[in-house]
Amino acid sequence: MRLLIVSNRLPFSVEENEGKISFKESTGGLVTGISAYLDSLKNASFTKQEHVWIGWPGNEINPKLENDLKKKALADFNAYPVNIDEKSMDCFYNGFCNKTIWPLFHCFPVYTAYNETFWNYYKKVNEHFCEAIVKIVKPGDLIWVHDYHLMLLPKLLKEKLPDTPIGFFLHIPFPPIEIFRLLPKKWRVEILEGLIGADLLGFHTHDYTQNFLKCTLRLLGFDHNMGNITTENRILKADTFPMGIHFQKYHDTASLPEVQEEKEKLRSTLTGLKTILSVDRLDYTKGILNRLEGYQLFLQNNPQWQKKVVMILVVVPSRIGIDNYQKMKAALDAYVGKINGRFGSLDWTPIHYQYKYLPLKPLVALYTTCDVAMITPLRDGMNLVSKEYIASLTDKTGVLILSEMAGAAKELGEAIVINPNHKEEIAEALKEALEMPEEEQKRRNTIMQKRLQEYDVIRWANDFTQELTDINEFKQKFNARLLNSSDKKQLIKSFKDADSRIIFMDYDGTLVPFAGLPENAYPDEEILQLLKSFSQYPGTKIVIVSGRDKQTLQNWLGNTSVDMVSEHGVWIKDSGSDWQLLKPLTSDWKLKITPILKTYSDRLPRSFVEEKEFSVVWHYRRSDPELASIRAKELMDDLISFTANIDVQILQGNKVIEIRNSGINKGIAANYFLSKNKYDFIMAFGDDWTDEDLFKSLPDNAHSFKVGISPSHAKYNLKNYKEVRTLIEGLIK
């Protein structure tokens, strides 16, 4: 089995010089994390898992050199470059990815561009990635797609490779629905549909996972159960995997002699000064300006700390071609100048500013040297720098000030956690951090280090890939329940060989799709013709077993020769005779229950009450799904206490709650027919849990089919009502 990692960028940039190709390492949280995981795979003796990293190599390459590039990338990095032309990359990466998705998903709607050309290039590049992957994928491979650049890719891949497990991890926040729905309708739906093409979707925090699930429910209509989503024909899962770091790498690097030496050097240039570290890629989400405002206020409010403290501000160049970033760089330069000008003197510079990339060892030397790290993004998916800082504190002294807007704050609660929008809070946190006793620093860092060591990036990636593998195994077991062609042949043979047959069929969701209003789910011409032919097939009795009232069934299906059961088994219409009660029932309890249901329909817009002779139903299919699910739980609670002394049962069906006499169900109704005659071929179809009574009551040799892809007592699953129709056609042709 190979693991195919797919991300927009490869962990290196390719450069072309006089016809020769060379590589330069690239930075960023995704690259740092995945590289560490893949290194661990290479070094581990217990696994032989191969991997290939697929992505854009950072520059457009002369087509003549493409073959050289492919060979060298594979040899040096196990990488497969996807060559994309400059114009596409500009509109895709600088455009849709970084001017639309990045600001919006980080809750900066004012920076968000809504540009149809960018969107078209986003689609085009996702398709291009798909074509590249399809060329190299092999049976048994696992595909793991990363990040916001490739949100359409899971669906594209699933269409081409339905049996390949596909995972997707989002490294940035998934925004609340109020923000996500600012995207034009077409884009937001295509993005969600693209994502749910994956079998497993991972997010850094529980909040992001919940935001995604809420959007899927409200914008696509797919509900979930503990993160498991069932679409018309697939099962997938959304779950939380907080990304860790390679703890040991940072911890060990901090102890290296050359890093210690660098630390001594730094210390000697900063004698007598406490140091505050700030390290980020240049990005407006990282809150660098807010941090500087907080620092300025701290210096102003605490003159006793002037000349005793210095901020080392490392800003790593990033997304250089984008306007907002250039403006931000200018604002930052000006602000640093302002603080240094206002507070500095010949013998003291309050901020040491570096705008450059640092190699790992000098970076870790900074982590271990500084007394305080200020990591205060306005919004950050996770933030690995904060974790790397804690891991590098070999003597366990140092204080982390962390923004509550970073995903990492969920795991690093022992840090001083602040709201980055409030400069007063930052200034106070700085004072607290600089004055924190060493014992307290050690106490906090010991706890955080232990946590980071236990759930490091290797655990994170193993957990994700393991869950993806588990989902795939579950799907394979489940697929074994779907009717394959040889089972179907056998079934048709048994059907034809039999002399007397009985077929029980539920109506809604089984023979026809659900409609917003129950009265709109009337039978179409195709199903009417099919039922007519089926019921006229010699030696075959068709019984429609429905929860509908008898009048509706009579109106809709009265012209076919089917038998019918209404209200889940209350009424029976057998062999052309009139409707009869299966057993004597009362309905005086309805007087007590109906007003309760009416109150609930008043409280939930677009829900309504349907009264049948011996049952009463509250429908909420068209209501707001979240409020409806709360109201349904409340109603169930109310009904349970209200009906304690009444001989009724409460059924929670597909977006309905139904109350009816007890001692009635579809299984009891089926037994009525089975006890009257002997049949040598018995078959049943149904889609919701009221049909489970039917499946359970049938003899062992019966052929039963659950419509939909959830577990059932039926022997087989069919994906939807269309498959039911196709199967019937196959039986009678």
Q: Of the ranges 83-91, 185-193, 268-276, 378-386, which one interacts with ligand GDG (CB under 6 A)?
A: 378-386
Give the three-state DSSP class for 549. Answer: coil
The single residue among 383, 394, 449, 690 that binds ligand GDG, judged by CB under 6 A, is 383
- DSSP designation for 625: H
Of the two residues 357 and 537, which places its CB atom closer to ligand GDG in the complex? 357
**Residue 260 corresponds to which tokens in the numbers above?**
């210690």
**Residue 499 corresponds to which tokens in the numbers above?**
């002399």
Q: Of the ranges 23-31, 392-400, 532-540, 553-561, which one interacts with ligand GDG (CB under 6 A)?
A: 23-31
Strand partners of residue 610: 617
Cβ neighbors of 413 (< 8 A, separation 6 or more) are: none
Least Å distance, CB 408 to ligand GDG, is 7
Of the two residues 316 and 430, which places its CB atom closer to ligand GDG in the complex? 316
Least Å distance, CB 33 to ligand GDG, is 5
CA 348 centroid distance within chain:
50
Q: Of the ranges 62-70, 301-309, 380-388, 578-586, which one interacts with ligand GDG (CB under 6 A)?
A: 380-388
The single residue among 4, 5, 30, 153 that binds ligand GDG, judged by CB under 6 A, is 30
Taking the C-alpha atoms of residue 161 and residue 179, their distance in angstroms, rounded to an integer, is 32
Q: Of the ranges 176-184, 357-365, 478-486, 695-703, which one interacts with ligand GDG (CB under 6 A)?
A: 357-365
Give the three-state DSSP class for 49. Answer: coil
Least Å distance, CB 28 to ligand GDG, is 4
Buried b (16+ CB within 10 A) or exposed e, 472-510: beebeeeeebebeeeeeeebeebbeebeebbbbbbbbbb
The single residue among 194, 381, 653, 667 that binds ligand GDG, judged by CB under 6 A, is 381
Per CB under 6 A, which of residues 387..426 are in contact with ligand GDG? 388
Angle formed by the axes of helices 385-392 and 438-454, nearest 10°: 120
Least Å distance, CB 221 to ligand GDG, is 30
Per CB under 6 A, which of residues 515..544 are in contact with ligand GDG? none
Residues in the chain: 733
Using CB under 6 A as the binding rule, whether residue 243 contacts ligand GDG is answered as: yes
Using CB under 6 A as the binding rule, whether residue 170 contacts ligand GDG is answered as: no
Cβ neighbors of 496 (< 8 A, separation 6 or more) are: none
Of the two residues 357 and 514, which places its CB atom closer to ligand GDG in the complex? 357
Contact 29, 285 (CB under 8 A): no
Q: What is the DSSP string of 177-228?
A: HHHHTTS-HHHHHHHHHHHTTSSEEEESSHHHHHHHHHHIIIII---EETTE
Give the torsion through C-alpha atoms of 697, 699, 700, 705, to 10 deg: -60
Taking the C-alpha atoms of residue 601 and residue 704, their distance in angstroms, rounded to an integer, is 36
Q: Of the ranges 113-121, 125-133, 221-229, 354-362, which one interacts with ligand GDG (CB under 6 A)?
A: 354-362
Using CB under 6 A as the binding rule, whether residue 357 contacts ligand GDG is answered as: yes
Using CB under 6 A as the binding rule, whether residue 27 contacts ligand GDG is answered as: yes
Taking the C-alpha atoms of residue 329 and residue 338, their distance in angstroms, rounded to an integer, is 14
Least Å distance, CB 29 to ligand GDG, is 2
- DSSP designation for 304: G
Of the two residues 392 and 445, which places its CB atom closer to ligand GDG in the complex? 392
Using CB under 6 A as the binding rule, whether residue 350 contacts ligand GDG is answered as: no
Q: Of the ranges 21-29, 324-332, 470-478, 536-544, which one interacts with ligand GDG (CB under 6 A)?
A: 21-29
**H-run or E-run covering 571:** strand 571-573
Nearest to 547 by CA among 526, 525, 518, 574: 518
Least Å distance, CB 317 to ligand GDG, is 9
**H-run or E-run covering 691:** helix 690-697
Q: Of the ranges 305-313, 351-359, 450-458, 658-666, which one interacts with ligand GDG (CB under 6 A)?
A: 351-359
Per CB under 6 A, which of residues 244..283 are in contact with ligand GDG? 279, 281
Of the two residues 219 and 461, which places its CB atom closer to ligand GDG in the complex? 461
Least Å distance, CB 377 to ligand GDG, is 8
Nearest to 270 by CA among 335, 332, 349, 330: 349
The single residue among 179, 316, 505, 657 that binds ligand GDG, judged by CB under 6 A, is 316
Least Å distance, CB 406 to ligand GDG, is 7
Per-position x/- string for 130-169, each x denoting binding to ligand GDG as judged by CB under 6 A, each - no binding: ----------------------------------------
Nearest to 614 by CA among 555, 558, 659: 659
Taking the C-alpha atoms of residue 591 and residue 611, their distance in angstroms, rounded to an integer, is 11
Nearest to 717 by CA among 708, 725, 726: 708
The single residue among 32, 376, 566, 623 that binds ligand GDG, judged by CB under 6 A, is 32
Catalytic residue among 506, 549, 563, 691: 506
Least Å distance, CB 569 to ligand GDG, is 54
Least Å distance, CB 375 to ligand GDG, is 8
The single residue among 262, 380, 567, 687 that binds ligand GDG, judged by CB under 6 A, is 380
Residue 319's region, left for phi above 0, alpha for psi from -120 to 50, else beta, is left
Using CB under 6 A as the binding rule, whether residue 646 contacts ligand GDG is answered as: no
Least Å distance, CB 135 to ligand GDG, is 28
Of the two residues 386 and 643, which places its CB atom closer to ligand GDG in the complex? 386
Contact 551, 570 (CB under 8 A): no
User: Which residue bears the tokens 């602040």?
Assistant: 418
Taking the C-alpha atoms of residue 585 and residue 275, their distance in angstroms, rounded to an integer, is 82
Contact 241, 460 (CB under 8 A): yes
Cβ neighbours around 592 below 10 Å, total: 12
Of the two residues 245 and 491, which places its CB atom closer to ligand GDG in the complex? 245
Using CB under 6 A as the binding rule, whether residue 385 contacts ligand GDG is answered as: yes
Using CB under 6 A as the binding rule, whether residue 709 contacts ligand GDG is answered as: no
Using CB under 6 A as the binding rule, whether residue 458 contacts ligand GDG is answered as: no
Of the two residues 147 and 190, which places its CB atom closer to ligand GDG in the complex? 147
Q: Read off the amino acid at residue 699.
A: P
User: What phi, psi does 132 have (nearest 5°)?
Assistant: -65, -40
Using CB under 6 A as the binding rule, whether residue 171 contacts ligand GDG is answered as: yes
- DSSP designation for 242: -
39 is catalytic: no
The single residue among 201, 363, 468, 511 that binds ligand GDG, judged by CB under 6 A, is 363
Least Å distance, CB 89 to ligand GDG, is 19
Using CB under 6 A as the binding rule, whether residue 28 contacts ligand GDG is answered as: yes
Q: Read off the amino acid at residue 723.
A: E
Nearest to 234 by CA among 717, 726, 692: 717
Q: Catalytic site residues?
A: 506
Residues that bind ligand GDG (CB under 6 A): 27-30, 32-33, 171-172, 243, 279, 281, 316, 357-360, 363, 380-385, 388
